Amino acid sequence: MNKNIFFQTVISFIGNVHASTHSLMKDARSNEITPQQHSILEYIFFSKAVTTSQVSDCLNISLPNASRELKKLSKLELIVKETNEKDRRKTTISLSEAGQNHMLCTFERIQKVFWEQAGQLSEDEMKLIISSMNVLEKKVFF
């Protein structure tokens, strides 16, 4: 297969994933937080424990902006900051119980929209989709 055609197909797929993600997420976020704060919570949810630098790097925002947003999330008691006892300069950030619950509620809303959009999928179709996603994770989105 022509590698250029393959790559263009992958790029098209990624664009479709971004569009679908936007469609699923647009009404799922709580009005209590900004879209950027939601992105931070989502990143922490999937990463478990992160640093301010990792948040800044992943979301492509400046370190001061990341710090400011994390401070706001901390005031809302959605995250917990833990200082490393050996190196007090290092702080690990994770979701608080309220933050975990917040994200789980968000994912419930996303799931509802997902099934409205996806319609009925047979058992075989769901297995095929999971298998395809596993291949993508191993070979493309590693």
CATH for 33-101 is 1.10.10.10
For residue 27, pLDDT beyond 90: no
Instruction: List Cβ<8 Å contacts ≥24 apart for 83-86.
Output: none
Per the confidence metrics, is the pTM higher than 0.85? no
**Short-list 73, 64, 63, CA closest to 95:** 73
Digit-coded pLDDT (tens) for 53-101: 999 999 999 999 999 999 999 999 999 999 888 888 888 999 999 999 9
For 93, the token pair is 């950030």
Half-sphere exposure of 31 (CA within 13 A, CB side): 0
Annotated domain spans of the chain: 1-30, 33-101
